[in-house]
Amino acid sequence: MSFPPFLCFFFFVSFLPLSTPLTSSPYLSPTIFHPNYQKMTQNFKIYAYPPPETLSFDSQVESLFYSSLIHGHFITQNPEEAHLFFIPFSFHSGLSARAAAYVVGNYRTEFIYWNRTLGADHFFLSCSGIVHGADRNVVELKKNSVQVSCFPTTAGLFIPHKDVSLPPLANVHAPVHAPGRKSSSYLGYVKYNWVKESNIKEQLLADPEFEVESEPSDQVTYEERLAGSKFCLFDYGPEISAIGEAMSFGCVPAVITDRPIQDLPLMDLLTWQQIAVFVGSSGGVNEIKRVLGRVVMAEYEDMRESAAVASKHFVWNDTPQPFDAFHMVMYQLWLRRHTIRYAEREWA
């Protein structure tokens, strides 16, 4: 079986050689992205099934995506012109497989559209994910429908070649990207909860090339720390949600991980090895410094510029703006609009 290039990237993102030539573009396909984006904004149509009486979500970013979708121009009242169908699950405190099966069963009975593709042209929003189940409706939902999840996603409940992760909601964002070379006081910055591994944190604290914020401080602002460091170090975990904030201030993300990361936001759009560094934990801080040092010597300015360009796609707005996070999620869904229409006899 062969996969398109952006799918193959899932399996080796953290093992790419640092000698890969970089350009100032962070995009996988820079020449076709903007024409495709324009087609998406003009033509993409979503039909949303009737929502439950009470609709609530587990996170602010889910609520913001839902509000932007339902009140935006992508929604159509004519399901025959829809490219994709949206299932409005309510996920407050999670959704059981039994409840999901009930909802899907109702939609497949009342509407004709699920059975045409067994859910392959449907998507749903869930940060908590839906556990696996034996019911036919849950099997089809998990196997065929696109799950839009929060980043980082719940382990075991995200399928890389199919699902989409939401760019995390940023608390701060640089208002204007300043071009030119960056003057940095530190090689790396680590916020007090970004790195959990105790040995690495102790080594970072002892190294003068890294600024480690051991606890929240009002002496130097968070924004100044981001702007004053070449790299921002993260473990792969909940704290990596600040990755967009770091990029907007010119702090190139350095992600400490011992396995390939399969759920990075905007994987269909961005060439992540051009905007972030991925390094294992086994070599400790010496290995981290060696890898970051090679980047500084060879390609840091390109990476910083690319990260700053990409950071605009991590911005969420109450009213969606062109090329922001909401539109980039819609763009990834647009790329998934071509579906296989499964035969009903496959389930006979």
Residue that is written with structure tokens 């606890």 in the block? 215
Judgement on whether residues 117 and 232 belong to the same structural domain of the protein:
no
- Do both 194 and 229 map to the same domain? yes
Same domain, yes or no: 224 and 304 = yes
Give per-residue pLDDT as tens, 135-183: 999 999 999 999 999 999 888 888 988 999 999 998 877 765 544 556 6
- Domain annotation covers residue 19: no
> Which tens digits make up the pLDDT trace of 94-119?
678 888 899 999 999 999 999 999 99
pLDDT at 341: 56
| For residues 265-291, average pLDDT | 95
**Residue 26 and residue 24: Cα distance in Å, rounded?**
7
User: Cα(130)–Cα(233) distance, rounded to whole angstroms?
Assistant: 31
The reported pLDDT for the residue numbered 65 is 97
pLDDT at 217 over 80: no
308 and 193 in a common domain? yes
Q: What is the mean pLDDT of residues 114-137?
A: 89
pLDDT at 314: 96
Same domain, yes or no: 259 and 162: no
The per-residue pLDDT for 25 is: 86
Which residue, chain included where needed, has tokens 């099934």? 49
User: Within this chain, do residues 62 and 129 fall inside the same structural domain, yes or no?
Assistant: yes
> Does residue 81 sit within a domain?
yes
Residues 292 and 330 in one domain: no
Asked whether residue 265 carries a pLDDT value surpassing 60, the answer given is yes
Q: Edge-to-edge strands of the sheet including 186-190?
A: 210-212, 186-190, 229-235, 252-256, 277-279
Is the pLDDT at 127 greater than 80, yes or no?
yes
331 and 307 co-located in one domain: no
Taking alpha carbons only, the member of 174, 288, 179, 180 closest to residue 227 is 174
Query: How many CB atoms are located within 10 Å of the residue 202 CB?
Result: 13
Q: Does residue 14 lie in a domain region? A: no
What pLDDT does residue 5 have?
41
Tell me the CATH number at 300. Answer: 3.40.50.2000
Query: Would the pTM of this model clear 0.85, i.e. be above it?
Result: yes
- The more confident residue out of 182 and 120 is 120
Q: Are residues 236 and 260 in the same domain?
A: yes
- Specify the number of domains making up the chain: 2
Q: Using CA atoms, how far apart are residues 262 and 161, in angstroms rounded to an integer?
A: 9
Q: How many Cα atoms within 13 Å fall on the side-chain side of residue 302?
A: 19
> Residue 32 falls within a domain, yes or no?
no
Verify that 241 and 192 share a domain, yes or no.
yes
Question: Mean pLDDT in the chain?
Answer: 85
What pLDDT does 219 receive?
A: 61
For the ranges 86-90, 132-136, 276-280, the one whose mean pLDDT is highest: 276-280
Report if residue 180 sits inside a domain. no
- Give residue 92's pLDDT: 55
Residue 245 has pLDDT above 70, yes or no: yes
125 pairs with which residues across the strands? Answer: 148
**Contact (Cβ atoms closer than 8 angstroms) between residue 75 and residue 46:** yes
Judged by average pLDDT, the poorest of 2-11, 34-43, 126-135 is: 2-11
Q: What are the tens digits of pLDDT across the range 12-62?
A: 343 333 334 445 689 999 999 999 999 999 999 999 999 888 788 888 999
Looking at the domain assignment, is residue 309 inside a domain? yes
The answer to whether residues 221 and 307 belong to one domain is yes
Q: Tell me, what's the pLDDT at 163?
A: 95
Q: Are residues 82 and 162 in the same domain?
A: yes
Could you tell me if residue 347 is inside a domain?
no
What is the span of the domain harbouring residue 243?
Answer: 186-314
Task: Return the HEC string of the chain.
Answer: CCCCHHHHHHHCHHHCCCCCCCCCCCECCHHHHHHHHHHHHHHCCEEECCCCCCCCCCCHHHHHHHHHHHCCCCECCCHHHCCEEEECCCCCCCCCHHHHHHHHHHHHHHCCHHHHHCCCCEEEECCCCCCCCCCHHHHHHHHHCEEEEECCCCCCCCCCCCCEEECCCCCCCCCCCCCCCCCCCEEEEECCCCCCCHHHHHHHHCCCCEEECCCCCCCCCHHHHHHCEEEEEEECCHHHHHHHHHHHCCCEEEEECCCCCCCCCCCCCECHHHCCEEECCCCHHHHHHHHHHHHHHHCHHHHHHHHHHHHHHHCCCCCCCCCCHHHHHHHHHHHCCCCCCCCHHHHC
Q: Per the domain annotation, does 31 fall within a domain?
A: no
Alpha-carbon dihedral angle through residues 18, 9, 230, 209, given to the nearest 10 degrees: -60
